[in-house]
Amino acid sequence: MVNYNERLGRTFAALVDPTRRAILARLEREDGASVSALAQPFAIKLPAVMKHLDVLDDAGLITRSKVGRTVTVQLRPEPMREAMDWLRRYERFWSMSLDRLAAYAEGKEAEVRKKRR
Amino acid sequence: MTSLTLVRRIKARPSIVFDALTTPEGIACWWGPDGGPVLVAETDPQVGGRFRVRFRMLDGSEHESSGEYLEVVKPERLSMSWRWTGGVEDPGESLVEIRLRAIVEGTELTFTHSRLRDEETRRSHEQGWNGALNKLERHFLQANEAAGQT
């Protein structure tokens, strides 16, 4: 559970930064872009972009692979899926609870009716 | 995603449903996201009274939530403040509202959990939170669609 929370924390922390979101958005359109191509639209230096990529990598949101001298970046959707699941946990929680509540109340109703007969 | 509403039609009269919602015996039988046991259920269903429920999930993790009853009108309405307590993550206080309506088969229960991210959003220093989450959702939908096509 702690690992899960740590992972989620890393995912959300990674997503909070506008530059990192822009990088992810770019990868949505163009998966497998090179690091230099990713850095191009930003008014920041390549080492700063590399730092952002490190954060995204630590959060498991991207993977990097090197072919020759070119490093390309791929998007990994799994942590996003986990974050979505986290957001849906309330729905799961209450949906399951209310189903059991209904079964319990219907049992009570049946008992009451039985006694009256 | 800051609120969710669920509706259930239950074959039991509203007063029975209301008791199931507000008594420790009732809560012990239904509260929780899986079949794990309720460990503590305390209620004081009057305006200003508090509730506390602790449950264990099937994975062994324990969770507790508590809050204050804000509106108690038997057997029609129940509202309470709600927050996770004693855990590592606390997304802040939220609001639970339950409406019971008598129908021919028994009761129509409308459940709303709202203000789910209010405090979290306030606490977040970055304005980008909602944008990030929307983007996340969009990406996830696209990933699903792509998966569905193959």
Q: What is the ipTM, given to two decimal places?
A: 0.78
Q: How many residues in chain B? A: 150
pLDDT band at B4 (very low <50, low <70, confident <90, very high): confident
Is residue A8 within 8 Å of residue A85, measured between CB atoms?
A: no
Q: How many residues in chain A? A: 117
Least confident of A34-38, A89-93, B16-20: A89-93
Please tell me what DSSP assigns to residue B125: S
- Residue B21's Cβ-side half-sphere holds a number of Cα atoms within 13 Å equal to 32
Parse chain B into domains and list their residue ranges: 4-116, 126-150
pLDDT digits 0-9 by tens, B126-149:
444 445 555 555 555 565 566 554
Inter-chain contact B139–A91, Cβ cutoff 8 Å? no
pLDDT digits 0-9 by tens, A66-111:
988 899 999 998 888 877 776 677 788 899 999 999 999 999 999 9
Inter-chain contact A108–B34, Cβ cutoff 8 Å? no
Parse chain A into domains and list their residue ranges: 2-116
Q: Cβ atoms within 10 A of the Cβ of A41, count?
A: 10
- Min Cα–Cα distance to chain B from A58, Å: 17
- Closest chain A residue to B136 measured between Cα atoms? A80
Residue range B4-116 in CATH 3.30.530.20? yes
Per-residue pLDDT, B121: 47
Contacts of B136 in chain A (CB under 8 A): 15, 80, 83-84
Continuous segment of H or E residues that includes residue A73: strand A70-75
Share of chain A above pLDDT 90, in %: 45
DSSP A3-56: HHHHHHHHHHHHHHSHHHHHHHHHHHHSTTEEHHHHHTTSSS-HHHHHHHHHHH
| pTM of this prediction exceeds 0.80 | no
Residue range A2-116 in CATH 1.10.10.10? yes
Contacts of B17 in chain A (CB under 8 A): 101, 105
pLDDT band at B118 (very low <50, low <70, confident <90, very high): low
Per-residue pLDDT, B115: 75
